């Protein structure tokens, strides 16, 4: 998976240290835990329980780590 696989403007978040989320323009929020995309309800986001990933590489590392758990 590469950053270019996502539409321009996609924002990559990490929730509670181990859940990779992507906010895709026009498509909403997606949870990539386990390495596959599933719709995510942003109502589950609370102040301070998620943050913007510092880089796509950081976000992708969380996706990869979650494959062992998902």
pLDDT digits (tens, 9 = 90+) for 1-48: 999 999 999 999 999 999 999 999 999 999 999 999 999 999 999 999
- Other beta carbons within 10 angstroms of residue 18's beta carbon come to 11
The range of the structural domain enclosing residue 8 comes to 3-67
**35 closest CA partner among 8, 1, 58:** 1
Grouping H, G, I as helix, E, B as strand and the rest as coil, residue 61 is helix
pLDDT at 69: 75
Q: Among all chains, which residue has been given the structure tokens 């998976």?
A: 1
Provide the number of structural domains found in the chain: 1
């Amino acid at each position: 998976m590469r950053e270019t696989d996502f539409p321009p403007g996609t924002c990559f978040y990490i929730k509670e240290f181990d859940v990779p989320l992507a906010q895709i323009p026009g498509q909403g929020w997606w949870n990539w835990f386990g390495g596959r995309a599933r719709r995510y309800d942003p109502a589950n986001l609370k102040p301070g329980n998620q943050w913007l990933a510092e880089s796509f590489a950081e976000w992708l590392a969380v996706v990869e780590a979650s494959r062992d758990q998902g």
